[in-house]
Amino acid sequence: MGDIQSEFNKGGVGMISWEKALQLIFLNIKPLPAVKVDITRAVGMILAEDVYSKIQMPPFNKSAMDGYAVKFTDLVKTPVKLKCAGIIQAGCSFEKKIKPGQCVKIMTGAPVPSDVDCVVMIEDTRQLKSGYVEILKGGKQGENICVRGEDIRAGQKVLSRGTLLFASHVSLLASVGRCFVKVIRKPRVAVLNTGSEIIPAGGKLGKNKLYNSNGPQLQALLNIDNIESCFLGIAKDEPKAMKAAVKKGIRYDMLLISGGVSMGDYDLVPEILEKSGVKKIFHKVKIKPGKPVFFGTKNNTAVFGVPGNPVSNFTAYHLLIRPAIHKMLGYTDCNPKLYEGIVTRQINKKTGRKHFIPITISSKAGRYYMTPLSGHGSADIFTLSKSDGFMIVEEDVKNVATNSIKSFITWKKI
């Protein structure tokens, strides 16, 4: 890590490995500030405070089910007939004293009177005439009673700072009376497309023009991650227009620029970013597809320039942009999740770069199987649409044999 930082301090590095690119991203992005949000909006966010309960849970002895609250001493011999002294609903209390030979009907969640010590399920009873109930089976002392404070003690820490919040945590927060909670706020992300040949989807497709697929794709990927985005439009390959769009974008926490980052005469993005005060961290990563990806920062804004081909866009998001977003969100492990699977057919590739090959994924007997898809490069959206993930093949590997085991990433539930 120190070597990477030294290279960065010298003003950026050349083409680097995926692993080093991730290290540089994590070094140069910090978690965003904490905000207070309604607990129902906190799912998927990182808790920015320790949460303590001010109350005991349950706050009183309560019935775990519908049935009859009885004295255990009346159940020495069953079946036994007991006089029903009344009914206790959830949210209500019972003020009468329950005498030996009596019981009281009780609903789930209702408070259990102090002079009874067992709740018999309603399935183990039979209603008789004249207000009597027959207890068919004897229970244990304390059975079906949730004891005050048995789940949570007053003053107990119930959630720790750094917890990734799920719906079950929302229920816990609500149960201890919390309506709001501090979390790491979500990043504000701007998406900018570049290219004089690009027009919005739905428009009239003129000669030598292409529909904009990258903008909707990046916004959809952000949406999957519950990140709202602002689309800045399509900037033509012309310095003035592009610089104006970049100026707007660097006001956000993250700016994603699609296209214009390679080595062509009209690939103006790196130069425009430099003139806009963006400090280059790296430009070019030893991956296929997606080699020309750019990453830099200006103040607290992270800037990614990704190649204009759709598959490269998609790959860069999963390999680099999503990890950066997770770092902003305060995740402790921001690396992409890797799985292992068995290759179903042999493939060959060129050495020199780590390849991310589109695959379909199946499972059998607890193992994953990967079938590489044949495509036509980083512009082949159709092949990408049929894939379930990317198989990862190391840069020095030329041939991948059938039945070999390789790592893969996926964006689908497997």
Distance CA 87, CA 48 (A): 45
pLDDT in tens, the chain (414 residues): 455 555 555 544 579 999 999 999 999 999 999 999 999 999 999 999 999 999 999 999 999 999 999 999 999 999 999 999 999 999 998 999 999 999 999 999 999 999 999 999 999 999 998 999 999 998 899 999 999 999 999 999 999 999 999 999 999 999 999 999 999 999 999 999 998 888 888 777 778 888 888 899 999 999 999 999 999 999 988 899 899 999 999 999 999 999 888 766 557 899 999 999 999 999 999 999 999 999 999 999 999 999 989 999 999 999 999 999 999 999 999 999 999 999 999 999 999 999 999 999 999 999 999 999 988 777 788 999 999 999 999 999 999 999 999 999 999 988
Total Cβ atoms within 10 A of residue 43: 15
- Residue 156 is predicted with a pLDDT of 97
Beta strand ranges found along 287-410 (DSSP E): 287-288, 294-298, 301-306, 339-343, 347-348, 354-364, 367-372, 389-393, 399-400, 405-410
* Backbone torsion region of residue 163, taken as left when φ is above 0, otherwise alpha when ψ lies between -120 and 50, otherwise beta: beta
Distance CA 307, CA 259 (A): 5
Structural domains in the chain, sorted by start:
2-32+186-329 (3.40.980.10), 36-55+151-184 (3.90.105.10), 62-146 (2.170.190.11), 339-410 (2.40.340.10)
Contact between 235 and 212 under an 8 Å Cβ cutoff? The reply is no
- Residue 266 is predicted with a pLDDT of 54
Please tell me whether residue 322 adopts helix, strand or coil conformation: helix
Contacts of residue 123, Cβ cutoff 8 Å, sequence gap at least 6: none
- Residue 11 is predicted with a pLDDT of 47
pTM of the complete model: 0.84
Structure tokens at 14: 């050349």
